[in-house]
């Protein structure tokens, strides 16, 4: 899988939407995860991403994050086609709000706002 070659500016947290599965999506279609997904972060051993052109289905797993002591499924926040990947994810567990996994083309789904997400799950570490 080819990695993304150019950095992408992510939208501010207030412009992103968040799922109860601890996944965020921004208006540019970038999808990532929140610190709550990790519980206690550990080193990322491996991240398994879908291939370019893969169709994600809302609420279905599309990626796997393997930590030293846990394997985490990442669930799609919308139905869309993957148009870019970011495989430079060594620091994903330490900086999840600053890292993205895939980029898709879709409308911003009706999910939790940043303030609603924090009210429901607490402020990230």
Q: Domain residues of the chain, as ranges?
A: 16-118
Q: CA-CA distance, 86 to 118, in Å (whole number)?
A: 26
Give the pLDDT of residue 5.
42
Per-residue confidence band for 69, with pLDDT thresholds at 50, 70 and 90: confident
Residue 7 has pLDDT above 60, yes or no: no
DSSP label of 52: T
Residue 66's DSSP bridge partners are 46, 71
SS3 94: coil
Give the pLDDT of residue 64.
97
Tens digit of pLDDT for each residue in 26-40?
A: 999 999 999 999 887
Q: pTM here?
A: 0.90
Residue 48's DSSP bridge partners are 64
Classified by CATH at the fold level, domain 16-118 comes out as OB fold (Dihydrolipoamide Acetyltransferase, E2P) (2.40.50)
Give the pLDDT of residue 51.
97
Give the pLDDT of residue 41.
64
């Amino acid at each position: 899988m080819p990695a993304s070659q150019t950095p992408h500016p992510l939208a501010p947290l207030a412009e992103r939407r968040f799922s109860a599965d601890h996944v965020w999506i921004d208006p540019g279609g970038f999808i990532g995860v929140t610190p709550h997904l990790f519980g206690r972060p550990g080193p990322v051993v491996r991240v398994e991403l879908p291939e370019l052109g893969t169709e994600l289905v809302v609420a279905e797993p599309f990626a796997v994050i393997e930590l030293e002591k846990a394997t985490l499924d990442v669930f799609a926040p919308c139905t869309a086609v993957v148009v870019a990947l970011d495989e430079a994810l060594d620091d994903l567990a330490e900086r999840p709000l600053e890292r993205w996994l895939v980029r898709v083309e879709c409308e911003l789904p009706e999910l939790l706002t940043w303030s609603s997400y924090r009210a429901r799950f607490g402020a990230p570490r």
